[in-house]
Structures are given as C-alpha cells and as structure tokens.
Amino acid sequence: MPEQRRLIFQHIDESGYSNDIDCYLRNGGYEVLKKAVTQKPEDLREEVKKSGLRGRGGAGFPCGVKWGLVDRKSGKPIYLIVNADESEPGTFKDRYIMHQDPHQLIEGTMISCFANNVKQAYIYIRGEFPHGAKILEKAIQEARDKKFVGQNILGTDYSCEIFVHRGAGAYICGEETGLIESLEGKRANPRIKPPYFPAVLGLYQCPTIVNNVETLCHVKHIIDMGGDEYTKIGTPGNTGTRVFCVSGHVQKPGYYEFPAGTITMGQLLNEVCGGPLPGRKFKAVIPGGSSAKILKFGERFKGKLRSGEAYDWGVEDVPMDFDSLAMIGTMGGSGGVIVMDDSVNMVEALANINAFYSHESCGQCTPCREGSLWMKKISSRMVHGEARKEDGALLKSVADQIPGRTICAFGEACSWPTQSFLAKFGEEFTAYPEAKKSKPADSHVLV
Ligand SMILES: Cc1cc2nc3c(=O)[nH]c(=O)nc-3n(C[C@H](O)[C@H](O)[C@H](O)COP(=O)(O)O)c2cc1C
Ligand code: SF4
C-alpha cells in the first residue's frame, strides 16, 4: 500500500493531541513563525514560489504566482482572507483542521501575512461552523497572549491582527469575490473579473489575497523546510501532500494525506479505503467535490503525457493529482472524493446535485439562475416519474448553454454534473421515464 505522508495532519490524530496552544507549542508550534520574522518578506515569497504550492481551495492556482500578482505599489493596505467557507459538497478537511489544529492555521496565516506585508487578516468561516468559530477565537486569543498575533509580534515592529468573520451560510460565499462582498456586509454576489481581481481590487477595493485554509497551512511547512525541499514531496507540477476527504460507498471513508500524484484512484479506494461495501461494486466516483465531472468505472482514457509517453488508463489507474485528473476531463478540485456503488441510481443522484446548485445560485446571471433551476426541475420530474420524452436532450441543452456566459465559475460548476452524468450514464436517463412511474419508496432524493 502507498505510504501516507502527513504534513497537515501530522499531529491531528495523535492520542493526547489537543487544540490548545500548550499542546501546539510542545510539538514545535510557532517555531517557523519565529524563524520567518527574521527573514525578508520577499525571500519568504520566493520560497513559496519555488515550492510550486497549488491552492487547495479548488482551482489549484499556484500560490506563489497569486502572491506575485498583488498590487504592492498602490499605497493601499493589503488584506489577507482565509477562505474557511468549505462549501463544496464532499469536502470536509478545512473544518477538521480548524477544530483539531487551529494554531497550525494561525501560524501559516501569520507567516503569509508577514511575507506579504499584511496588517489585517480575516478568517471567513462558514456560517454553519459555529463551534469552529469559537475554537478559532479562543486560539487567536491564546496566540495574541503569547505575542504571535497582534501588536509587535515576537518583539519586532511588525503588527498584524486576525479577525474571525462568520459567513452568511451560502455556497457562493466560498467564491472569493462573493466572499469579499459578504465580508463587506453585503449579499455574496460575485464580482466581475476584470476589473475585480482580488489581487488588485479586493476587500474595500484594496489588494487582497484569498487563500484556502489548507493552502495556508502548507505555507508553514514550506518555510520550515524550504521551497526546494518541499518540491521533493509529490511529483513535478503537483508538489507537497494532498488531503483527500473520501465519502460514500467505501469501507473506510475519512481523511487521507498522501504526497500529491503518488497514489492512484484504485489504490486510494481499494487499498486505503478498504474497497466497496460487501456484495457491491464501484460504479462511479466524483474526484474533487460535487461540481467535478463524474468518472465511470469501466471507462478508459487514452492520450499522451507531457513527457510524450502514451497512457491508457481505467479510472483505477489515474494518479490523484491536479494535472492527471484534468487530462481525463475532470478535476482534483477541493479533494472531496465522493464514491458511488452499484446501488446508486444516477438519475436520482443528479437530481440531488441539481437541487443543491439551483438553491445556491446567487441569481445575478440569467443563464445560471434559470439554467440551474431548469436542470433541477427536469431532473426532479424524471425522479417523480413525470419525465417527458425530450427531457434527456433538454437537460443537456440547458447545461450546455450556461458555461462561459456567467460572472463567476459557478456557471461551469453547476453544468458539469449534468453534462458528465448524461455523457456517461445516458442510458439510465433514457430508460428512466419508463422505468419509474412513481417516486421510489426507498428514494433519498431531496427534490
Ligand atoms: C462557486 C465557488 C465556490 C467556492 N467555494 C470555495 C470554498 O468553499 N473554499 C475555498 O477555499 N475555495 C472556494 N472556491 C475557490 C475560491 O474562489 C478561491 O479560488 C480560493 O479560495 C483560493 O484559494 P487557494 O488559491 O488557496 O485555493 C470556490 C469557487 C467557486 C467558483
Ligand atoms: S454564475 Fe451564478 S452564482 Fe455566479 S454570479 Fe452568476 S448567478 Fe451568481
């Protein structure tokens, strides 16, 4: 079995490990911050760039490049926002980090603030995580008492405050510009880019860095070991470790952290997660949160790697990294791996997902607002045995007309499930109107 390598979850599950500062300090906590404040901010940024760290919030954008885009000449304050909204269904790593090891996040955040000359940072935590917010408040106070946060950090002339802001409880609050609007006290309507790239015109129209919880935790480890050393973990282009949150039909769902790209989907699900439930077979898997395109067990993917070498993969053979998953038409996204076995009816599963996205569209763009609603309505009537003959084609046509015509990437996110379910399990959608004339008694569909 491939070896787990834990950076982010290094201590989290150790017996006796707690989320208070004394425990964190006993395990070497805040030593990296002490080292960081003796260095030049630009050198720290260079280490993060060298490390190749890619954002763990969904898009996998290189963190060092993002920091390099920040407008440092405007004379305006630079803000840093920790995206702790964790709203993508199937993803549950950030909550666990905040509950079990909040000081790791605070240390990573403070190092990142120092590296970017940030004086004020916000942790925007999902509204439905009240317990997490309390843990963070307590941890920040503990860190403030020890001079790791606040005025004159560690006796230097550098001061930086962290505030916890509880979110508004909507999926779209996780999209960075929607999040910024929400933090400013408004409805979380995403902003149009350009001109509102956070690095230039973010919070209060000032340059702003938005990074995911896990991304900022990695920064601590990069500064600890150095950017070059960090690149030795994982694979070229997919450096460091990756935390997977595996849910659904496996024997051992949970959190698993591996060097990025060193484990295949088959190894993760069969060897690490114990395989399918007794008497069942894997049918499908969504590899990176509910908006990622679904993969069907049995399908094959052929092409050429960057090295020129040909590949011919089944779902089980695909390495679990950003690039390999993108090559086969889906994405690593937030690391939320949702597994479905042969007990799952794909029409019902899609109806569930479509109900979610329709509920969560902010409504600013007509294709997204109307399209997500229509996808929900059509898949819902399929589930309730009221499908019309043309519904499969209509569903596809609606999904195909949303991407590329919206303000934010939610447009793509809500279309990909429908597009990929239809492309891969089309026969279930064709057969469904005849097969189901009434809602099944055992249905768990919330539509
Ligand atoms: C609809 C939508 C929802 C998102 N939700 C989250 C989220 O809950 N958490 C998160 O970190 N990023 C989320 N993102 C991505 C953020 O916009 C942003 O790219 C990310 O926080 C950047 O951090 P990273 O570079 O460290 O990954 C979402 C994006 C979209 C389009
Ligand atoms: S794509 Fe959807 S969620 Fe994004 S701004 Fe438009 S309506 Fe809102």
**In the structure encoding, which two tokens stand for residue 419, read together?**
């597009």
DSSP 271: I
- Cα separations (Å) of 299 from 318, 338, 396? 12, 17, 20
Q: Which residues pair with 302 in a beta bridge?
A: 312
pLDDT in tens, 256-284: 999 999 999 999 999 999 999 999 999 99
- The pLDDT confidence band at residue 436, using thresholds 50, 70 and 90, is low
Residue closest via CA to ligand 1's atom 31 equals 409
Q: Name the residue of 85, 361, 370, 376 to mutate for ligand 2: max ligand atoms within 8 A of Cβ.
A: 361
Q: Name the residue of 406, 412, 414 to mutate for ligand 2: max ligand atoms within 8 A of Cβ.
A: 406
Mean pLDDT of 299-319: 93
- The pLDDT confidence band at residue 338, using thresholds 50, 70 and 90, is very high
Task: Give the nearest ligand 1 atom to 60 CA.
Answer: 27
185 pLDDT more than 60: yes
433 pLDDT more than 90: no
* Overall size of the chain counted in residues: 447
pLDDT in tens, 87-118: 999 999 999 999 999 999 999 999 999 999 99
| Contact between residue 8 and residue 241 where contact means Cβ atoms under 8 Å apart | yes
**In the structure encoding, which two tokens stand for residue 407, read together?**
């303000």
Mean pLDDT of 329-340: 96
Averaged pLDDT score across all residues of the chain: 94
pLDDT at position 434 = 56
| Contact between residue 225 and residue 234 where contact means Cβ atoms under 8 Å apart | no
Which phi and psi angles does 326 have, rounded to 5°?
-65, -40
Distance, in Å, from the CA atom of 137 to the CA atom of 443, rounded to the nearest integer, reads 41
Residue 412 Cα, ligand 2 centroid: separation in angstroms?
10
Residue by residue, DSSP assigns 84-149 as: E---STT--HHHHHHHH-HHHHHHHHHHHHHHTT-SEEEEEE-TT-HHHHHHHHHHHHHHHHTTSS
Mean pLDDT of 390-399: 94
* End-to-end Cα separation, the chain, in angstroms: 40
Q: How many other C-beta atoms can be found within 10 angstroms of the C-beta atom of residue 74?
A: 13
Residue closest via CA to ligand 2's atom 8 equals 362
Residue 280 Cα, ligand 1 centroid: separation in angstroms?
34
Helices (H) and strands (E) in the chain, counts: 16, 13
Q: How many other C-beta atoms can be found within 10 angstroms of the C-beta atom of residue 151?
A: 11
- All structural domains of the chain, each given as residue ranges with its CATH number in brackets, are 21-232 (3.40.50.11540), 235-341 (3.10.20.600), 346-435 (1.20.1440.230)
pLDDT at position 187 = 96
Distance, in Å, from the CA atom of 376 to the CA atom of 381, rounded to the nearest integer, reads 9
Phi-psi region of 445 (alpha: psi -120 to 50; beta: other; left: phi over 0): beta
Q: How many other C-beta atoms can be found within 10 angstroms of the C-beta atom of residue 334?
A: 32
Residue 57 Cα, ligand 1 centroid: separation in angstroms?
5
Mean pLDDT of 368-393: 93
Task: Give the nearest ligand 1 atom to 66 CA.
Answer: 25
| Contact between residue 256 and residue 274 where contact means Cβ atoms under 8 Å apart | no
238 pLDDT more than 50: yes
Residue closest via CA to ligand 1's atom 9 equals 86
Residue 363 Cα, ligand 2 centroid: separation in angstroms?
6
Distance, in Å, from the CA atom of 252 to the CA atom of 169, rounded to the nearest integer, reads 29
Residue 43 Cα, ligand 1 centroid: separation in angstroms?
26
Residue by residue, DSSP assigns 352-398 as: HHHHHHHHH--S-SHHHHHHHHHHHHHHHHHHTT---TTHHHHHHHH
Distance, in Å, from the CA atom of 320 to the CA atom of 71, rounded to the nearest integer, reads 34
356 pLDDT more than 80: yes
Nearest ligand, measured from the Cα of 402? 2
Please give the helix or strand (H or E) that residue 163 lies within, else none.
Answer: strand 161-166
Residue by residue, DSSP assigns 205-239 as: GS-EEEEEHHHHHHHHHHHHH-HHHHHTSEETTEE
Q: How many other C-beta atoms can be found within 10 angstroms of the C-beta atom of residue 242?
A: 26
Nearest ligand, measured from the Cα of 364? 2
437 pLDDT more than 60: no
- Cα separations (Å) of 295 from 102, 173, 268, 288, 421? 34, 27, 15, 11, 9
365 pLDDT more than 50: yes
